């Protein structure tokens, strides 16, 4: 497991255990490549070392709620507008503990 304070842009195959402390409102984004629309939500997850934004897509949105303890396996880290973000991605796994 990686501590949230140790997450860095570009990390791959990260596993994190954290608590959901905030969950935004869903918004819709259009795909640049296909004529599809996706639902997306920014949540904030935290452990004892810090907090990070977690981007949730489509069915992941309904899996978690504020207060849930979650585990992310095989996730990856990106940076958007100088802010570190944790992503589950299509190859990662999100589970509620």
CATH match of 4-96 with 3.30.70.360 = no
Give the mean model confidence (pLDDT) for residues 5-29.
97
Angle of CA points 39, 41, 42, to nearest 5°: 155
pLDDT digits 0-9 by tens, 36-74? 999 999 999 999 999 999 999 999 999 999 999 999 999
Give the mean model confidence (pLDDT) for residues 25-34.
90
Residue pair 76/11 in contact (Cβ under 8 Å)? The answer is yes
pLDDT at 34 over 90: no
pLDDT at 26 over 90: yes
Q: Where are the domains of the chain?
A: 4-96
Looking at residue 22, its pLDDT comes to: 98
């Amino acid at each position: 497991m990686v501590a949230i304070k140790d997450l860095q842009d570009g990390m791959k195959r990260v596993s994190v255990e954290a608590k959901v402390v905030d969950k935004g409102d869903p918004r819709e984004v259009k795909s640049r490549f296909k004529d599809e629309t996706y639902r997306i939500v920014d949540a904030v997850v935290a452990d004892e070392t810090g907090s990070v934004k977690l981007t949730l897509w489509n069915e992941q949105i309904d899996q978690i709620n504020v207060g849930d303890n979650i585990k992310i396996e095989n996730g990856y880290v990106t940076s958007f507008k100088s802010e570190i973000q944790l992503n589950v991605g299509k190859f990662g796994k999100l589970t509620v503990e």
